[in-house]
Amino acid sequence: MTLELMMIREEGIVLYMPEYASVRVIECSPPSWMVLLALEEKSLPYKCQELSFARGEHRSPEMLARNPRGTIPVLSDREFQLFETYAIFSYLEYAYPSKPLAPQETNEHVYAILRLHESSHLKSHGMALFAYLMKTPEEALDKDILRERKDQFVNELRFWEDYLEGRDWLAGTSISYADLSVFTYIATAVHLGLSLQTTFPRLAAFVERMKQRPAVQKTWPALWNTNHYSFLSDEGA
């Protein structure tokens, strides 16, 4: 495997990610989206190679040579193949330090790293919820299961609402990788019908603030412009 990986070399950054149309219901991949956002925020040139989940392209021999775990996103740059999202962030910050997304001031840097890793809790609850909706036909959805998973996700949001008290960004005065991570999961839940305004006004403002950024506008999932869901609305779950 090591020899196979050493023989793969890209000229420039290539991001291997899901074809959103092949991701049922959520029509997005939060881990892939946050990497796209990082590339855009850092103004790095890159190419996207979209892979179909339905056709199993993410587990082709070529992709398994890049990532033996068979997961995406995978970022390829020169001889490097990276397939853990936070590892990709660390690599981008080290290899391309201009336009940093890890604050330079010590206090903010510490909180940026803490919040980024803490967002794994949001990912855990979010993906449990999203996976249930992706894998279960609408007519077979169990409202009790859906409500339980939604409640777990919503309870996690309370931490992030508190973290935004008195600030625009999770780690201080500038956007960081933590903001990219948290945003993608919350935006996906909103796409599925979750309302933030009443219970989580700071998060609602945060999402709107993120939506004004050119990086978000450029990478916004296209199907979200036409497809709207109510699975996570008060009436749906």
The three state secondary structure string of the chain is CHHHHHHCCEEEEEEEEECHHHCCCCCCCHHHHHHHHHHHHCCCCEEEEEECCCCCHHHCHHHHHHCCCCCCCEEEEECEEECCHHHHHHHHHHHCCCCCCCCCCHHHHHHHHHHHHHHHHHHHHHHHHHHHHHHCCHHHCCHHHHHHHHHHHHHHHHHHHHHCCCCCECCECCCCHHHHHHHHHHHHHHHCCCCCCCCCHHHHHHHHHHHCCHHHHHHCCHHHHCCCCCCCCCCCC
* pLDDT value for 237: 66
pLDDT in tens, 143-156: 999 999 999 999 99
Structure tokens given for 41: 């925020």
Q: Inform me whether the pLDDT recorded for 2 exceeds 60.
A: no
pLDDT at 3 over 80: no
User: What percentage of the chain has pLDDT greater than the value 90?
Assistant: 90
Q: Mind listing the pLDDT tens digit for each residue in 173-185?
A: 999 999 999 999 9
pLDDT of 128 over the 90 cut = yes
The CATH code that applies to domain 2-95 is: 3.40.30.10
Q: Which CATH architecture has domain 106-225?
A: Up-down Bundle (1.20)
| Burial class, 16, CB count within 10 angstroms (exposed 0-12 / middle 13-18 / buried 19+) | buried
Find out whether 180 and 93 touch, Cβ atoms under 8 Å: no
d(CA 10, CA 17): 16
pLDDT in tens, 61-105: 999 999 999 999 999 999 999 999 999 999 999 999 999 999 989
Tell me if 93 sits within 8 A of 102, measured CB to CB: yes
Band of the pLDDT at 9, cuts 50, 70, 90? low
Across 20-34, average pLDDT: 94
Which residues are bridge partners to 169 per DSSP? 172
CATH 3.40.30.10, the chain: domain bounds: 2-95
Give the confidence band of 53 by pLDDT, cuts at 50, 70, 90.
Answer: confident
Angle between helix axes 201-211 and 177-191 (nearest 10 degrees) is: 100
The reported pLDDT for the residue numbered 44 is: 97
**What pLDDT, on a 0 to 100 scale, did the predictor assign at position 8?**
63
User: Does residue 10 surpass a pLDDT of 90?
Assistant: no
Residue % of the chain over a pLDDT of 70: 95
- Band (pLDDT 50/70/90 cuts) for residue 6 is very low
Q: What is the distance between the alpha carbons of residues 25 and 137, in angstroms, rounded to a whole number? A: 10
The predicted structure's pLDDT at residue 236: 67
Whole-number pLDDT of residue 4:
44
Q: Where in the chain is the domain with CATH 1.20.1050.10?
A: 106-225
